[in-house]
Amino acid sequence: MNEVKEKELKGLNGWLMLIAVFGALIVGIAMLVMGFMLAGGDEVPENPGFFAMSAVGAVIAFVSVFCFIGFKVVAPNEAIVFTLFGKYHGTLKKDGFYFVNPFCTAVNPAAAFGGRMGKKLSLKAMTLNNDKQKVNDEEGNPIEISVVVIWKIRDTSKAVFAVDNYVTFISTQCDSAIRQVARQYPYDVSENGDEKSLRGSSQEIAEVLKAELQSRVNTAGIEILDARINNLAYAPEIAAAMLQRQQAAAIIAARQKIVDGAVSMVDMALKKLSDNNIVELDDERKAAMVSNLLVVLCGNRDAQPIVNSGSIY
């Protein structure tokens, strides 16, 4: 495959060329009119030289009009890629008003697919908001994911000649890259919490996704500025089950913390009662007290106290 290298085209000053072309057009029209007038006048006999003057004037006027095709206006962060008789001629990148070879043809494959810039290429940072797609994570769970990619054209010759349509190309490669990255990580962190996940490691995943996508679009001369997940959710068919799983995990974690706190509080209460000689408790009374305190501290509802005026024996 022949790789076309980008070369910057130095166009002529458009204002100077505009004056020159207008001057040539006026001269050509003047020669054409004067030749016809002198050749057909009554006082001057017909002379073939006057017809030649008219022919030259017509040619100059035609060439001058044709040269107007060569005037190009380039705005900041825009570029025009030219071919000359089928070969890459150069890229006009510097903003301004220029004159180039009228036989040059501007090329932009994206223009055929509804590109807003027409034959011009935009060198600005552009945003690709890819549609949601269903993929499987590392654990095989179906998830819905979409990404936002910030990109720009780095090499205009590759963007135009290396791929059929660079806009479609980056969109397709984005779909492929997100599938590749998603299958390497679970949706959520594992129980031990020592691995990266799509939901919990957004910065790390963004860097991996950017590197993966950049390696795929180098062929098209595109630079990836940023790539981030902007939508991530379980697929509808498992969303309810996964929500119950998350709720159960949260409840278990909360209960574990409550029990740990209750045990420490019971231990502290028994020690203070013993150290301050408030009451002497045998093993059976300690067991009853521990049971009552744990019920009060770990219960879901407010405790209903029962006054016991008798003895447990």
186 and 175 Cβ atoms separated by less than 8 Å: no
pLDDT along the chain (313 residues), means of 10: 80 93 92 76 56 85 93 93 92 93 90 68 90 84 89 93 90 90 82 69 89 93 92 75 67 75 76 72 70 68 59 53
CA angle 95, 151, 80 (to 5 degrees): 30
159 and 166 Cβ atoms separated by less than 8 Å: yes
Question: Cβ–Cβ contacts within 10 Å for residue 60, how many?
Answer: 19
The half-sphere exposure of 202 on its side-chain side, counting CA atoms within 13 A, is 10
Q: What is the pLDDT of residue 39?
A: 62
Q: What is the pLDDT of residue 149?
A: 94
Buried b (16+ CB within 10 A) or exposed e, 239-276: eeebeeeeeeeeeeeeeeeeeeebeeebeeeeeeeeee
Between 3.40.50.150, 3.30.479.30, 1.20.140.10, 3.30.70.1450, what CATH number should domain 125-234 receive?
3.30.479.30
- Spatial neighbors of 284 by CB under 8 A, at least 6 apart, are 312
Q: What is the pLDDT of residue 303?
A: 60
Q: What is the pLDDT of residue 3?
A: 73
Q: How far is CA 92 from the centre of its chain?
A: 26
Q: What is the pLDDT of residue 36?
A: 75
Q: What is the pLDDT of residue 26?
A: 93
Amino acid at 159: A
Each domain of the chain, given as residue ranges in start order, spans 12-107, 125-234, 239-298
Cα torsion angle, 242, 243, 249, 252, sign: negative
Q: What is the pLDDT of residue 245?
A: 66
18 and 24 Cβ atoms separated by less than 8 Å: no
